[in-house]
Structure 1
Amino acid sequence: MADWELRPASAADVEAVAELRAVVLRADLERLGRYDDQRVRQRLRDGFAPAYTWVVEVDGAFAGCVALRPDGDAHWLEHFYLAPRLQGGGIGTAVLRELLERCDRDGTPVRLNVLRGSPARRLYERHGFTVDAEDPVDVFLVRAPRMISAEGLSM
């Protein structure tokens, strides 16, 4: 696995994230008959919240992003995109694990939605997410916090 790190996002990251979103979601949105070249980018711009977003850097370069937005008694995992050339190499799993461990320490459930038929759903299910609801486009998943042992390990 390549060396990676998370850094806080800034407003200046919005266009790189919007472009990555368009690339990563294109196949799934086309399969669902919902791809619109402008809308896919604008939806990200409209919902981009740098205060809750991190940029994934690999070897010091932009490689992806992820947001963890508080909402009531839970957090929403959003905008989790990784450059296609880096997918399948363990970086996404490592980033997800780090964020889930933070939520476990706080005792916070995590919610997300994934497009129907997206291979990303398997990643989330491997980490304990279960189906909460579905609609014609999205599958909504939730993960209860795990207990943390005295050694700091999820149980």
Structure 2
Amino acid sequence: MQALEFRSATAADLPFLVALRHATMSEHLARVNAARDDASQLARVLVRFEHARIVSVNGQDVGLLKAYREPGQWYIAQIQIAPQFQGQGLGRAIIENVLDQARRDGLPTALKVLTGNPARRLYEALGFRETSQEDAEHLMVCPPRQERVSATG
């Protein structure tokens, strides 16, 4: 897999981020009867925008990550990969980066996923387990992972 690059999102990225959210979330939002208009998508993008990181591969923007440390845990607020880049291991690699940081800090990692979102399978494969549900959102938590042993070590 190609190297991931992260940079802080800026106002200039907002059109990309709203389009990305439409492309990745509209189906899931429709399933739970949530708003999908541009204003609603922009409002969601702007939540905790100071933590927004644009994910790039070979200089091409491919996604968004919002993750940050809270008291007692790391929290992944948003992760979205453009549909044409899904299925290439990018989401897994991005989440593993966050889980590695949480492990170094000795903290669990939490995220929320909408009912019916197929990304839940990835989260479960990475060790996340559902701890609660509110309406159509499922809170999932992954305990701090053991340090990974390299195949060459």
TM-score where L is the length of structure 2: 0.87
Shift of 1:100: 1.0
Instruction: Report what 1:45 is aligned to.
Output: 46
Instruction: Report what 2:23 is aligned to.
Output: 23
Q: Counterpart amino acid of 1:93? A: R
Question: In structure 1, how many angstroms separate the alpha carbons of the residues matched to 2:107 and 2:19?
Answer: 30
Instruction: Report what 2:81 is aligned to.
Output: 82
**Within the alignment, does 1:63 sit opposite 2:62 as a pair?**
yes
Question: In structure 1, how many angstroms separate the alpha carbons of the residues matched to 2:9 and 2:57?
Answer: 17
Question: In structure 1, how many angstroms separate the alpha carbons of the residues matched to 2:134 and 2:17?
Answer: 26
Question: In structure 2, how many angstroms separate the alpha carbons of the residues matched to 1:95 and 1:88?
Answer: 13
Question: In structure 2, how many angstroms separate the alpha carbons of the residues matched to 1:8 and 1:152?
Answer: 27
Question: In structure 2, how many angstroms separate the alpha carbons of the residues matched to 1:148 and 1:18?
Answer: 36
| Coordinate RMSD, CA, aligned | 1.9
Query: Percent same amino acid at aligned positions?
Result: 28
Alignment of 1:86-125 (within 5 A): 86-125=85-124
Does the 8 A contact of 1:18 with 1:42 survive in 2? no
Q: Counterpart amino acid of 1:36? A: R
Shift of 1:129: 0.4
TM-score where L is the length of structure 1: 0.86
Aligned length in residues: 149
Task: Report the secondary structure of 2:80's partner residue.
Answer: strand
Pair 1:46–1:98, CA change in 2 (3 A): closer
Task: Structure 1: give runs of 5+ residues left out of the alignment.
Answer: none
